[in-house]
A and B are shown apart, each in its own frame.
Chain A
Amino acid sequence: DQQVKQNSPSLSVQEGRISILNCDYTNSMFDYFLWYKKYPAEGPTFLISISSIKDKNEDGRFTVFLNKSAKHLSLHIVPSQPGDSAVYFCAALPYTGANNLFFGTGTRLTVIP
């Protein structure tokens, strides 16, 4: 029973266009959300996060949107670059004060030059 779901295993986008990666969760108690990026043969690295009290957080080309009523978050990358090609995982903190994360299954993004 996956509590954090990424229903699109892969996504291809043309360089310069917007990439939108989606994530759904089942537990309304989840308090904090993170996105990680993973290149082959490397560990995941932190990309951007958002607290449940916000609906948007922006960092350069990366923006995360949170829709609590829909239990949905998305990561927007604008403009997409070939170096963004990687697997992206969303993760959720189960409650305030916890330090373990629930991860999704990942979405492989390919940015085509």
Chain B
Amino acid sequence: DAGVIQSPRHEVTEMGQEVTLRCKPISGHNSLFWYRQTMMRGLELLIYFNNNVPIDDSGMPEDRFSAKMPNASFSTLKIQPSEPRDSAVYFCASSLIGTSSYEQYFGPGTRLTVT
């Protein structure tokens, strides 16, 4: 089992540039979550999808952030334009709806630095 795969692992970009983060969930999982980790807020849920459909995007901080899940095996989180305050570690996680454990499996994260 490859686990949740995220790319890139590190991204350094200049303010104003577009950033795209990518995620491949665990095969067979039907829920996908995007989180941002900061010191102040811990793990903050940005958006999640069930069966490729966005369910709750209330955590997306601004219109500069957008996420898509075109199929069950791929999702992107895009920031356009990026700002220094977007610097954080972004995690993708996946899970299987309907199990009793409610466990989410996390990828290794993408460390984003916006200068």
The answer, yes or no, to whether B50 is at the interface (CB within 8 Å) is: yes
Which of B13-21, B62-70, B74-82, B104-112 forms part of the interface with chain A? B104-112
The number of chain A residues touching the other chain, given as a range, is 20 to 34
Cross-interface CB contact of A99 among B4, B41, B43, B95, cutoff 8 Å: B95
In the complex formed, the residue of A with least CB distance to B42 is A105
Inter-subunit contact B42/A32 (CB<8 Å): no
A44 B31 Cβ-Cβ under 8 A = no
With A43-B4, A43-B93 already in contact, the answer to whether A103 and B43 are too (CB < 8 A) is yes
Contact (A100, B45) CB under 8 Å given A43-B93, A49-B101: yes
Complex: A49 Cα to B42 Cα, angstroms: 19
Measured in the bound complex, the distance between the Cα atoms of B50 and A102 in whole Å is 17
Q: Which residue of A lies closest to B91 (CB)?
A: A43
Residues of B at the A interface (CB closer than 8 Å) are: 4, 31, 33, 35, 39-45, 48, 50, 55-56, 91, 93, 95, 97, 101-109
